[in-house]
Amino acid sequence: MRRRAASRRTGARTNKNATGAGYLARKKAERDAAVELAEHARETVAAVYDRLASRSRQAKRRSATELPTDGPLLLDAAFLVPRATARAFRAQAAREARALAKDGYGLTLTGPWPPYTFVED
């Protein structure tokens, strides 16, 4: 799951005559908005993962520390889905993708893949 870049800028435009206090207030507002957006993204990712995991036999996700930090990737997960329920799983993923698109998220489902993720060492 990825977050698409916002199409509009946040915060007010800078003014040549703006005060230092105004600048600091804008910077704080931008920082607060970024924190709020990150929290919303974490909650959204967790909810989507939980809903998809509930339709799978087993699920694994890469932790946030394992994800690349230089891009918009928010979730990288693997789901072990029985053939008998694969169609329903894909339909759920499609519903999630449509709902997420409204908030600027993209969800990509690939596979089926060999279940290497679920093999114990």
Provide the 8-state DSSP code for 51: H
Q: What is the pLDDT of residue 121?
A: 67
Q: What is the pLDDT of residue 34?
A: 78
Q: What is the pLDDT of residue 8?
A: 45
Task: Kindly give the confidence (pLDDT) of every residue in the chain, 121 residues in length, as a single tens digit, with 9 standing for 90 and above.
Answer: 655 555 444 455 555 556 888 888 888 888 888 788 778 888 888 899 999 999 999 999 887 777 777 777 888 899 999 999 999 999 999 999 999 888 888 888 988 888 888 887 6
* Structural domain spans, the chain: 19-110
CB 105 within 8 A of CB 44: yes
- Mapped onto helix, strand or coil, the DSSP state of residue 73 is strand
Residue 34, token pair as written in the block: 């970024």
Interatomic CA distance for residues 40 and 47, integer angstroms = 11
